[in-house]
Amino acid sequence: MGSTPIYKSGLHQDRFLKVALDEEKCKGAGFCQQVCPKNCYELDRIRHIAIMPRSDRCVQCGACIVQCPYDALYFEDPEGKMVLPETVRRFKLNLLGKRPVKMKV
């Protein structure tokens, strides 16, 4: 199986990224809630979207981004630039330790 980090790294540029949610794309499927190692997510059952009330716990592992079927989650850097889900999927592993997209060689 793949491993999801549960501690924030102080050595990588990833520590400056934050997970952002596009509420228009979110359908409230809850995969983010299921895979988050720090329990950052809850589902808002009224609006049918995920919310991140414990975002301060986030370790930027990207598991939620990789698993979201609607591409509603992405990384955002301090300057507001987006790291799109398809880019994250190229470099992060899914829960089975595999890359869900084929790498172009």
The whole-number pLDDT of residue 102 equals 54
Q: Which residue has the higher pLDDT, 53 or 16?
A: 53
Is 6 a domain residue? no
Say which CATH number the domain at 42 has: 3.30.70.20
Count of CB atoms within 10 A of residue 57's CB?
A: 14
Is 97 a domain residue? no
pTM (predicted TM-score): 0.78
**Distance from C-alpha of 41 to C-alpha of 52, rounded to nearest angstrom:** 5
21 with 50: CB under 8 angstroms? Answer: yes
Is 2 a domain residue? no
Is 51 a domain residue? yes
List pLDDT tens digits, range 47-97: 999 999 999 999 888 899 999 999 999 999 999 999 999 888 887 765 555
Is 1 a domain residue? no
Mean pLDDT (the chain) is: 83
Is 96 a domain residue? no
3-state SS of the chain? CCCCCCCCCCCCHHHHCEEEECCCCCCCCCHHHHHCCCCCCEEECCCCEEECCCHHHCCCCCHHHHHCCCCCEEEECCCCCEECHHHHHHHCCCCCCCCCCCCCC
The count of structural domains within the chain is: 1
The whole-number pLDDT of residue 61 equals 87
27 with 70: CB under 8 angstroms? Answer: yes
Q: Is the dihedral of CA 84, 6, 29, 66 positive or negative?
A: positive
Task: Give me the domain span that covers residue 75.
Answer: 13-91
